[in-house]
Amino acid sequence: MPQSAKLFSERLSHCLDETEAPTSIRERAVILSKMIDIPKQQAWSLLEGHLLPDQDTLQKIAAEFEVDPQWLSGEK
């Protein structure tokens, strides 16, 4: 799996930790899919580090968690 996708998933998990989201990946996928209006399977893939979000999705996630999109994507 691409290292950047893995780093993104780690940072996304950190953001979810900060909101005290449940630790179960299933529950996190449901929460994330509702939060930014994406399919659960896509949320799961993002959380597992198998997929990088497109630019629009990255912006939505960053805005939701109030973090820098470049930090979230691993560019910083």
pLDDT for the residue 2: 57
Digitized pLDDT (tens) for each residue of the chain, 76 residues in all: 557 999 999 999 999 999 999 999 999 999 999 999 999 999 999 999 999 999 999 999 999 999 999 999 988 8
**50 — alpha (psi -120 to 50), left (phi > 0) or beta?**
alpha
pLDDT for the residue 33: 98
pLDDT for the residue 27: 97
pLDDT for the residue 15: 97
The tokens of 6 are what?
């893995």
pLDDT for the residue 76: 81
N- to C-terminal Cα separation, the chain: 20
Q: What is the CA radius of gyration of the chain?
A: 11
Domain residue spans of the chain = 3-72
Domain 3-72 adopts which CATH fold? 434 Repressor (Amino-terminal Domain) (1.10.260)
